[in-house]
Amino acid sequence: MTATGIPAGLANGFVEGLGARGTISGNATATGSLSDPSAQFTLSGSGITTEQIARSGTAPLTLDVAGTYDDGTLNLANAEVVAGDGRLTARGTVGQQLDINVDLSQLPVGLANGFVDGLGAQGTVSGTASATGSLSSPNARFDLTAANVSVAQSRAAGALPLAPISPARIRMATLPSTRRSSGSAAAPSASPAGRARAI
């Protein structure tokens, strides 16, 4: 199956006010049975944005993804998203077992504006993250740095962008609101929901 120049704006008919723009192309082949399929795929996109993302000043996205699916496992040979000077790349496997690595370089947090109305996020995030273990008991390590990150609500309150803090080790799926953190994260235990513990 091959698709060329499919307009992202088709999604506008399903999400009111989305204002999606850009095009998506790709091809895929599949073999095997419906219960145990195997597939190879490539996907690319250019000029992809939405009304909220464009309003925040974030550049349109380009994307390039290639991988396979076999025996219930997704193998990402390469997944890259570029937005202006920012970039996210991911490689690895996602299935019952995880082994995936993600690199971020000046990725604009304004991308989140396309999913949360009125968020008004600004700034960039850089760093690395990895996940191993199983889907039921994942382990994640990260080293992230935020630069001038703020949201509309914090700016309206006169709050400054996130300030630097010392690196920390966090045991929780929820990341704290810090400029820089590094360490490892595990699935939450019996600790109260929404809390993170620095060790």
Per-residue tokens: 104? 């971020």
113-123 residue pLDDT tens: 877 878 888 88
Per-residue tokens: 78? 């390469």
Average pLDDT over residues 88-110: 93
For residue 61, the tally of other CB atoms under 10 A from its CB is: 23
Res 22: pLDDT: 95
Arithmetic mean of pLDDT over the chain = 80
pTM over 0.85: no
Average pLDDT over residues 184-198: 40
Res 15: pLDDT: 86
Where in 8-151 does DSSP place strands (E)? Answer: 21-32, 37-49, 61-70, 73-83, 86-94, 97-108, 122-134, 138-150
Give the separation between CA 147 and CA 179, rounded to whole angstroms.
7
Please name the residues in contact with 173: beta carbons below 8 A apart, sequence gap of 6 or more.
140, 185, 187, 188
pLDDT beyond 60 at 31: yes
Per-residue tokens: 30? 């599949």
Res 56: pLDDT: 77
Res 41: pLDDT: 96
pLDDT beyond 80 at 189: no
pLDDT beyond 80 at 50: yes
Q: What is the DSSP string of 36-52?
A: SEEEEEEEEEEEEE-HH
65-69, 128-132, 134-138, 178-182: which range is least confident on average?
Answer: 178-182
Give percent of the chain with pLDDT exceeding 90.
41
Res 183: pLDDT: 53
